[in-house]
Chains A and B, each alone.
Chain A
Amino acid sequence: MEIKREDILHLADLSEFALDEKETESLGGDLQEIIGYISQLDELDTSDIQPTYQVFEMENIWRDDEILPQDATREQLLALTKNEKDNQIKVPKVL
């Protein structure tokens, strides 16, 4: 399938990043090639095959429903941002 410029912009939007003109162009070419490569799965007959999403051999790992001490405190986590005020993280306007 052909990847058009609007497809690249749509994917960048889904991916929540901006792109400049140069990258829109170069990523467009790259994605076209990559999608061309992965499309070879078309030729594989997968009828009657169940999908596998994970290879961990066990299921339903339970733990007791109790609050455990956390590895990091609220203060330590807040200290990771340079934009803290009154125990909250400052961001630009939302609306």
Chain B
Amino acid sequence: MKIADKSTSAEKLVRDALEKAKKYAEYNIFTFLNEEGALKKAREIDARIKKGEKVGKLAGVPYALKDNFLSPEGETTASAHILEGFVSPITATAVAKLEAEGAIMIGRTNLDAFAHGSSTENSYFGPTLNSRDKKRVAGGSSGGSAVAVALDIVEFATGTDTGGSIRQPASFNGVYGLKPTYGCISRYGVVAMASSTDCIGFFTKTPDDMDLLMSIASGQDPKDMTTLPDYYNTDADTELSDLRPSWATGADRAPEPRNDGREGACRGSLNSSVRIGIIKDFDNESVDSDIREALKKKVELLKSKGHEIVELEMPALKYGLAAYYIIVPAEVASNLSRYDGVRYGFRSEKSDDLDALYYNTRFEGFMPENKRRIMIGNFVLSSGFYDAYFLKAAKARTMIINEYEKAFSECDFILTPVSPNPAFKLGEKVNDPVAMYLEDVMSVSLNLAGVPGLTIPAGETKDGLAVGLQLVGPRRSDKALIEFSKELA
């Protein structure tokens, strides 16, 4: 990462980033450009460097903030009409941590409204264009952030991943994108979508940058009771092999005995053999041939480096998407019930009484996809349907978790496609919600299980579109995952 020091200045880094952001205006990446605020902070950092004062690990590094992170700089809209005009008095913990190290937010990035979508076309501000082909989608929901990094406007960008919203746009734009273990980074001050699967993560150009950001952002936060004690930094010296099986190494659980005779088999360094799982069902006709080709190439690369390839059968994953589109809408219906037009954001003024105010504000303020998800959520939670849908999905979730646990007793990491196809054309799926949901078929199961996944760039298609693959590890294996991704470069 380009850090401000005596050879360059924070002001120059920020000015360059802002200039590039304007140059690429047609991509519709930003919902807000923080020109004044960013330059002011840059000058402060330059003054401190000049005086010889200590500056942070991200001093002067320009970054882009997905517009569902709260901070007082610019409106936080989550690209939704209903939050129009909302300037947050509070700052998200993740933002506070980045800025404490000197990172400078140069703009807020576009997303599908409330992060509901896989293309950034559901944004109130219109779609973000793909960095490789302007006729194609950026992916989503964190489309703006992915394109901001891919076009080299910023050094890194934040994202949120509830079912693939970091990994899929990273894959569509050829950058690294990490969805960490559930609970690794505080969700305080981030617009809630589905609380049991929401994760904060990043887009970067290199694994090392990802590691640096994770070391800064992770850790327990008293403002988010679902944050884990900092394992990312305390396990800093942990070698890859020590993390197996990582759900058994949590402070609150005793390690499980291992009976596979491989005790210590790959302790030491990354040069030793690692077992990589390939999911049988994912390598079939439904996946684009260029993506299957990319996967094959990486498998050959891993074999040539002496790693072991293990074939996995994970039949329950087939039901991951259906379970996801029950559980997540249920949580969405609950989380989005707070937007009523009374205390902040957009208010419909046409209403004669309070009920009409709620109904009209939510009618005008939500995008169609927000409404679909809220209604599906209320449907699956309704008496009469709860057992058949919500409870059934919660049980399917257990089966998916069990399947990952079994898989990680047979391998260290899993390598899979992120999505069945590369970036699709704008407008191709926007009127077909189920086709859009199917985009998430390979990404949502990780969120249901709470395990981390890292998108790595894996070449391009014959047409020059970016292809990414997803490296999946057991819970708390984030650091090892990032480290191992270097083997695939």
> In the complex, are the beta carbons of B382 and A14 less than 8 A apart?
yes
* Interface residue? B482 (CB, 8 A): no
B389 cross-chain contacts in A, Cβ below 8 A: 38, 41
Which one of A16, A34, A35, A93 lies within 8 Å of B359 (CB-CB)?
A16
Within the assembled complex, what's the spacing in Å between the Cα atoms of A91 and B358? 10
Chain-A contact segment, one of B55-63, B293-301, B373-381, B409-417:
B373-381
Which A residues from 52 to 78 make CB contacts under 8 A with B?
52-58, 61, 63, 71-73, 76-77
A15 near B371 (CB under 8 angstroms)? Answer: yes
Contacts of A73 in B (CB 8 A): 89
**Known contacts being A11-B379, A16-B362, A93-B354, is A41 close to B337, with CB within 8 Å?**
no
- The reply on B292 being an interface residue by CB < 8 A is no
Contact B343 A93 (CB under 8 A): no
- A41–B323 touching, CB < 8 Å: yes
Number of residues from B at the complex interface, CB < 8 A: 73
Q: Find B354's partner among A51, A61, A83, A91 (CB 8 Å cutoff).
A: A91
Q: How many residues of A contact B (CB 8 A)?
A: 54
Whether B347 contacts A83 by the Cβ 8 Å rule is: yes
State the main secondary structure of chain A at its contact with B. Answer: loop
**Docked pose: A11 CA to B384 CA in angstroms:** 14
A16-B359, A33-B434 given; A91·B326 CB < 8 A? no
CB distance from B404 to the nearest CB of A (A): 10
Give A8 to B371 CA distance when docked, in angstroms.
11
Residues on A close to B: CB < 8 A?
Answer: 8, 11-12, 14-20, 23, 26-27, 30-31, 33-35, 37-42, 44, 46, 49-58, 61, 63, 71-73, 76-77, 79-83, 89, 91-95
The chain B residues found within 8 Å of chain A, CB to CB, are: 85-87, 89-91, 182-183, 196-197, 222, 225-226, 228, 247, 250, 252-253, 316, 319, 321-323, 325-326, 333, 337, 340, 342-344, 347, 351-354, 356-360, 362-363, 366, 368, 371-372, 374-376, 378-380, 382, 388-389, 391-399, 401, 433-434, 437, 448-450, 475
Q: List 19 A-B contacts (CB under 8 A).
A: A12-B375, A14-B378, A15-B374, A30-B368, A31-B376, A34-B433, A37-B437, A38-B389, A40-B319, A42-B388, A51-B391, A51-B398, A52-B394, A56-B182, A56-B226, A80-B86, A91-B342, A92-B357, A93-B354
